[in-house]
Amino acid sequence: MSGLVDALTAIVGAEGCLSRADEVFPYECDGLSLHAATPGAVVFPRDTSDVVRIVRACAEHGRSFVPRGAGTGLSGGALACDEAVVIECSRMNRVLEVNPEARWARVQPGLVNADLSRAVATHGLFYAPDPSSQLACTIGGNVAENSGGPHTLKYGTTTDHVLGLELVLSSGEVVRLGSACGVAPGYDLVGAVVGSEGTLGVVTEVTVNLEPIPEAIATLLGIFGDVVSACRAVGEIIRSGLVPAALEIMDRRTIEAVEASVYAAGLPRDAGAVLLIELDGPPPALERQRERIRAIAMAQGASRVDVARDADERERFWAARKGAFGAMGRLGPDLYVHDAVVPRAKLPEVIARVCEIGDRYGLKLSNVFHAGDGNLHPNISFDRRNPDELDRVLAAGDEILRTCVDAGGVITGEHGVGTEKRDFMELIFSEADFGAMKRLRRAFDPEQRSNPGKIFPSTRFCTEANPKARGYDRVPLREGEP
């Protein structure tokens, strides 16, 4: 390793390369802290040419590499399997160019999601994909995971907003894919790279399209006695053909945690669930949509539907929604955030089953999720130092995923497969399906040196990442945790 570290240091300087155990420790895991692996080194490139040289140095030393953004991923995607070199993109965080007339921006991958919308707001524009982690996560991470967010119901996920990419292949070759007008001749390679979890190369530049800030916004809060009725209301809204900007559900346990935290927004603590509905567009349309939605919610058992009175109240509702994961810290030292999707009409029966699974395993399970997309996030609060509880968390998670697949769903809607779910991939795909995916992988990365050990079912890589294989005692606690 030391020869490689020397080579990396020569590229990025001593301050841009970490290799001691205590230095690389914070990069052992991402937001899924149950999985961990020690990086061979962590490097901080400043530009594309640094990335090229780093990737080439890795090739010369026969070592893999892992692109990394902010490490907020929830599926172990940024884990350095096989002692890979972590290529940390935080120094590449600039907005390179904005074209307000054509409505696009060209940015570096380390740019924080929320900073992009902030940078283009003066032009009356915004970047639509808004993961709840948007104050920290990066555009590069978003591209790799094809991230969504509450407003993807109307605006689509990251893939619907990326026009072009610059990518450094594991050979060190730089390719530019797509174009600023969103159409380029040949295969849709941009579409193939978005969502590929860093396994096809390092994204070093992203051209995204920007949306005009909506003329008007209406935010509603439907108050329900239970989460199943809230899900039924979502099904009815979808069936009616209405396309709100967002349809998000928080259940009772989530509301309690949020209201006891700094994100408190005055949500009714006695509600079984709230449905946060956002509409945007021209004012005359909003009024009618608001009434139609209110009628649907009331018919499905809402006790009332409140309307955010002003921008402040709207922001409070959203801070509560987006801060919900953080607020869960009150329920236990650890949080397992699940992510699966079912057809929306199946939400009521699946959510009931998910709650039943949580109860049966004696777990603190709460739900805060992108209901309009059928994208569930059952969250389990626990304490990893209790091996029996951890066992139950993992077993419940397994059952939840199988329940979603049985309902016609999939095992991840936005967090990705990473190391977390690669052994569930066979619930969805056949050998032949994996064969097709491997063809794509080989075309970009024939030696599988870009982010090995992800997406595809387990191989020799990363057995250490699995908490079952590692032994619970070795699962590291994050800095600052009890």
Ligand X SMILES: Cc1cc2nc3c(=O)[nH]c(=O)nc-3n(C[C@H](O)[C@H](O)[C@@H](O)COP(=O)(O)OP(=O)(O)OC[C@H]3O[C@@H](n4cnc5c(N)ncnc54)[C@H](O)[C@@H]3O)c2cc1C
Of the candidate spans 14-22, 119-127, 316-324, 442-450, the one that interacts with another protein by CB under 8 A turns out to be 442-450
Give me the DSSP letters along 383-429: -TT-HHHHHHHHHHHHHHHHHHHHTT-BS-SSS--TTTSGGGGGGT-
Distance, CA of 366 to CA of 368 (rounded, Å):
7
Q: Is 39 in the site for ligand X (CB under 6 A)?
A: no
Q: Is 345 in the site for another protein (CB under 8 A)?
A: yes
Q: Is 144 in the site for ligand X (CB under 6 A)?
A: yes
Q: Is 288 in the site for another protein (CB under 8 A)?
A: yes
Q: Is the CB of 225 or the CB of 329 nearer to ligand X? A: 329
How many residues at the interface with ligand X, by CB under 6 A? 36
Q: Is 444 in the site for ligand X (CB under 6 A)?
A: no
Of the candidate spans 141-149, 267-275, 343-351, 393-401, the one that interacts with ligand X by CB under 6 A turns out to be 141-149
Q: Taking the CB of residue 445, how many other CB atoms lie within 10 A of it?
A: 20
Q: Is 205 in the site for ligand X (CB under 6 A)?
A: no
Q: Is the CB of 138 or the CB of 289 nearer to another protein? A: 289
User: 175 forms bridges with which residues in the sheet?
Assistant: 167
Query: Looking only at residues 59 through 98 of this chain, which bind ligand X when binding is defined by CB under 6 A?
Result: 66-74, 77-78, 89
**Cβ-proximal residues to 450 (8 Å cutoff; 6+ apart), any chain:** 64, 65, 66, 67, 169, 170, 198, 199, 200, 201, 202, 444
Instruction: Provide, rounded to whole angstroms, the least separation between the CB of residue 267 and another protein.
Output: 25
Query: Looking only at residues 84 through 143 of this chain, which bind another protein when binding is defined by CB under 8 A?
Result: 99, 101-102, 104
Query: Looking only at residues 369 through 428 of this chain, which bind ligand X when binding is defined by CB under 6 A?
Result: 414-415
Q: Which residue shows structure tokens 């939400």?
A: 347
Give me the DSSP letters along 213-244: PPSEEEEEEEEESSHHHHHHHHHHHHHTT---
User: 138 forms bridges with which residues in the sheet?
Assistant: 112
Give the one residue of 138, 152, 254, 403 binding another protein; rule: CB under 8 A: 152
Of the candidate spans 145-153, 310-318, 457-465, 467-475, the one that interacts with ligand X by CB under 6 A turns out to be 145-153
Q: Is the CB of 368 or the CB of 407 nearer to ligand X? A: 368
Going by C-alpha positions, the residue among 133, 128, 186, 130 that lies closest to residue 160 is 128
Q: Is 141 in the site for ligand X (CB under 6 A)?
A: yes
Helix, strand, coil shares of the chain, percent, nearest 5, are 40, 20, 40
SS3 379: strand
Instruction: Provide, rounded to whole angstroms, the least separation between the CB of residue 409 and another protein.
Output: 6
Q: Is 71 in the site for another protein (CB under 8 A)?
A: no
Give the one residue of 110, 140, 332, 409 binding another protein; rule: CB under 8 A: 409
Q: Are 376 and 358 in contact (CB under 8 A)?
A: no
- Give residues in contact with ligand X (CB under 6 A): 30-31, 66-74, 77-78, 89, 109, 131-133, 137-138, 140-142, 144-145, 147-149, 197-198, 202-203, 325, 414-415, 451
